[in-house]
A and B are shown apart, each in its own frame.
Chain A
Amino acid sequence: MSEHKPVEGRILTLPFMFLGVLGVIGLYFLGVRFADGLGAVANINSGYPWGVWVVYDVVIGTALACGGYALAFVIYVFNKGQYHPLIRPAILASLFGYALGGFGAFFDMGRYWQFYNILMPSNWNFNSVMLEVGLCVMAYILVLVIEFAPALLERMGATGALRWLNKVLFLIIALGLLLPTMHQSSLGSLLIIMGAKVHPLWQSLQLQPLLALLTALTMGFSIVIFEASFSAIGFKRRSETPLLASLGKVIIGLLAVYLVVRLAELVLRGKLGLAFAGDLAGNMFLLEMALFIFPLWVLLSPARRNSGRLLLFAAVSLLFAGALYRFNAFLIGYNPGPGYSYFPSVPELMVTVGIVAIEIMAYLVFVKKLPVLHSAEHA
């Protein structure tokens, strides 16, 4: 009854088992973290309390999981139904991405056993950006579960529940649009309070939420292109390039606004010169900008946009750009003062790698067992 179908096929492929090994290594170090404390695994320290776990798993991980959000915006707000085939895998990827983010935040928490405290209204500090992020991300994970529920319900054949769900789904979808808008912007706002510790090239103060939101959206669209491209190859499905190319047009607008705001802020506050200082921060800024501008160059021309290869390059470039923007703001351009240094340890990185591996494994299982990907004959 649905246009979505399981891909079927073997689960235990060679890549799957390789990912499994990475996952086991990651889980082992995670065990060490819970047994001996954060310091036993991670290199985070007095000057750099947030390492790759927060910055990659939470800040970047959730931005990479904005596919469902970005696509839902196009489909439901701008009423572009033609993108509908892409939404269910995007929602699934978002769910896993956010689950990873939530889990990452949990095991990075120094006092995880008191995690419930953030749910107690008596504790809430409404001045805290972190509170907004925490509650909002949790709520959104719940929303994503509900949004994905039809896939499960279809598989189970629970038509009654499905019908009931469809009645209230509009509200859930609206929430699924609102919540990421809130917390993706707030993830940027987290930088404001860090003040002078964030390099001026990334400390845009009041503009932080807007810049974070815009890049989250571009990353969302890019991840949709990325996933669809990889699905097309991995599962030997029809390429959806034309559909994706038109998504690219949306990205142009977002990207243009982002670049204008970002550069205007730097120029107006007289910080642009720092980009050419020749130091690590300046060079990272230039690299980041190149990664933002290259996709714009690809997408502006219809010919380039319609090449699946270039489109994928553009998408990946944007993903790297968004990720680097966050890495730069939170880690590379974050300077707590002289004497402090941070570089993730191998175990710390292996936890992140392992968790991502598990995420991909779960995605593969779901896609193969549940009606997620759009059936090929829709064209």
Chain B
Amino acid sequence: MNDERNFEQLEKRLGVSRRDFMKFCTGVAATMGLTTSEAMAMANAVASPKARPPVIWLHGQECTGCTESLLRSEHPTIETLILDLISLDYHETLAAAAGHQVEAAKQASMKANKGKYLLVIEGATPVKDGGIYCKIGGKTMLDHVKEAAEGAAAIVAIGSCASWGGIPSSGINPTEAKGAPAILTDKTVVTIPGCPPNPYNFLSTVLHFVTFGKLPALDHLNRPKFAYGRLIHENCERRPHFDAGRFALEFGDEGHQLGYCLYKLGCKGPETYANCPAIEFGDVGGGAWPVGVGHPCFGCTEQGIGFTKAIHELADVKTHAPPNAFPYVDDRQGTSNSTPGAAALVGGVIGAAVGATAMAARKLGKSEEAGDGDNRG
């Protein structure tokens, strides 16, 4: 079969076993909540070389952490895969060429693949003073972003800086750094916030796009719902400690050693949306994510929280599940309402008293009539 040959070629090309490759695809599909058949579709998409879309990868105000995390994935095949899966026509860190040569290659690719390439933006874009605080090849990042966005089939902002400004935008924000969505207001920019985001979230989004030709379901901040649809606090492994009221009160104290909830240490899990409790941090594995290793969640994915709220500041606990875990103000314990039996008994007792009185009164009336003369006057 054609598919079979594709897979054989893929094995050779990537140096991965077919089994490992299928595992990867299924894992990616599972991350996004897709079915096995959709995982198969993805595997086929990757295996058939014709589907490789060209990618233009821009770097603005950033630390390259997102790229690094992607390249240093635990699974040895991923960076190979991402490079094989896509045709990375422009990437400052990974490009073999340099200087005007690489800029020219970029221009050529954008022209040749107009309307077909994928634009990935890493890092924030400064806009103050015409955007002069970040220039590549003599041109401002602002112009680069706008220019590249023109002919892009889809735009993905990777990392918090590109998503909403991240570190460059926090505090006094001297360069007026902005995320890509704030620059490209007329376009859909998928955001994959995080510092750095888990590479799976990026890969899954790209694979989805490659396979199905469209983006996965997005939330109001254009984040893929499969990754950012859930609150960390709602899925945290330490949640039972929160519910039981067991907190680490200081770093290194008994509660901290026992793995209690880190809320009091400033954990931002209750207001941060990310799938870290499920896929952990940076594809490191082994339970390694901030909360897993005893550090409060930093809220890196959330604008207004990561890099903005201090570690010691407490998160607003936004949701409570189960919602009926709290008694209402008027809830009481062991109150009693009348039972029919008791009500009947009360009625009976009152009735008996009234009845006895009535009977006595009748007798009294009779005896008075009978023995009127006897009575003293």
Take A342-B336, A343-B342 as given contacts and tell me if A229 and B330 are in contact as well, using a CB distance cutoff of 8 Å: no
Pair A346/B345 contact, Cβ less than 8 Å? yes
B224: min CB distance to chain A, Å = 46
Pair B364/A312 contact, Cβ less than 8 Å? yes
* Number of chain A interface residues as a range: 35 or more
Q: Which residues of B29-47 are within 8 A (CB) of A?
A: none
| B residues near A349, Cβ cutoff 8 Å | 342, 345-346, 349
Is A46 engaged at the interface, CB distance under 8 Å to the other chain? yes
Pair B364/A308 contact, Cβ less than 8 Å? yes
Interface segment among B160-168, B184-192, B367-375: the answer is B367-375
Pair A233/B335 contact, Cβ less than 8 Å? no
Pair B367/A233 contact, Cβ less than 8 Å? yes
| B residues near A353, Cβ cutoff 8 Å | 345, 349
Pair B334/A241 contact, Cβ less than 8 Å? no
Take A308-B368, A313-B361 as given contacts and tell me if A338 and B336 are in contact as well, using a CB distance cutoff of 8 Å: no
Tell me the complex Cα distance, A315–B274, Å.
Answer: 78
Is B362 engaged at the interface, CB distance under 8 Å to the other chain? yes
Pair A345/B357 contact, Cβ less than 8 Å? no
How many chain B residues touch A (Cβ–Cβ < 8 Å)?
Answer: 33
Tell me the complex Cα distance, A308–B363, Å.
Answer: 10
Contact flags A317-346 to B (C-beta < 8 A → 1, else 0): 000100000000000000001111111111
Take A238-B374, A346-B342, A346-B345 as given contacts and tell me if A339 and B335 are in contact as well, using a CB distance cutoff of 8 Å: yes
Pair B330/A339 contact, Cβ less than 8 Å? yes
A304: min CB distance to chain B, Å = 13
A315: min CB distance to chain B, Å = 9
Q: Which of A230, A337, A341 contacts B337 (CB 8 A)?
A: A341
B130: min CB distance to chain A, Å = 64
Is B333 engaged at the interface, CB distance under 8 Å to the other chain? yes
Pair A45/B334 contact, Cβ less than 8 Å? yes
Q: Which of B335, B341, B362 contacts A47 (CB 8 A)?
A: B335
Interface SS of B by simple majority: helix
Q: Which of A39, A232, A243, A309 contacts B362 (CB 8 A)?
A: A309
| B residues near A43, Cβ cutoff 8 Å | 336, 342
Pair B364/A232 contact, Cβ less than 8 Å? yes
Tell me the complex Cα distance, A238–B335, Å.
Answer: 50
Is A375 engaged at the interface, CB distance under 8 Å to the other chain? no
Pair B375/A344 contact, Cβ less than 8 Å? no
Tell me the complex Cα distance, A17–B80, Å.
Answer: 100
Pair B368/A316 contact, Cβ less than 8 Å? no
Is B100 engaged at the interface, CB distance under 8 Å to the other chain? no
In the complex formed, the residue of B with least CB distance to A308 is B364
| A residues near B19, Cβ cutoff 8 Å | none
Tell me the complex Cα distance, A229–B368, Å.
Answer: 11
Contact flags B311-354 to A (C-beta < 8 A → 1, else 0): 00000000000000000011111111111011101100100011
Take A233-B363, A239-B371, A308-B368 as given contacts and tell me if A316 and B343 are in contact as well, using a CB distance cutoff of 8 Å: no
Is B50 engaged at the interface, CB distance under 8 Å to the other chain? no
Pair B339/A232 contact, Cβ less than 8 Å? no
Is A379 engaged at the interface, CB distance under 8 Å to the other chain? yes
Output the residue of B330, B333, B345, B349 with the most chain A CB within 10 A.
B345
| B residues near A45, Cβ cutoff 8 Å | 332-336
A310: min CB distance to chain B, Å = 8
| B residues near A239, Cβ cutoff 8 Å | 364, 367-368, 371, 375
Pair A313/B357 contact, Cβ less than 8 Å? yes
Is B376 engaged at the interface, CB distance under 8 Å to the other chain? yes
Take A233-B367, A309-B361, A312-B360 as given contacts and tell me if A46 and B338 are in contact as well, using a CB distance cutoff of 8 Å: no
Pair B335/A340 contact, Cβ less than 8 Å? yes
Pair B335/A342 contact, Cβ less than 8 Å? yes
Is A117 engaged at the interface, CB distance under 8 Å to the other chain? no
Tell me the complex Cα distance, A47–B332, Å.
Answer: 8
Is A2 engaged at the interface, CB distance under 8 Å to the other chain? no
Pair A241/B368 contact, Cβ less than 8 Å? yes
Tell me the complex Cα distance, A307–B372, Å.
Answer: 11
Tell me the complex Cα distance, A316–B368, Å.
Answer: 19
| A residues near B99, Cβ cutoff 8 Å | none
Some 6 contacts from A to B, beta carbons below 8 A apart, are: A45-B332, A47-B332, A309-B361, A342-B336, A343-B342, A345-B342
Report B's interface with A, CB cutoff 8 A.
329-339, 341-343, 345-346, 349, 353-354, 357, 360-365, 367-368, 371, 374-377
Shortest Cβ-Cβ A-B pairs, 4 listed: A343-B338, A339-B330, A43-B336, A308-B364
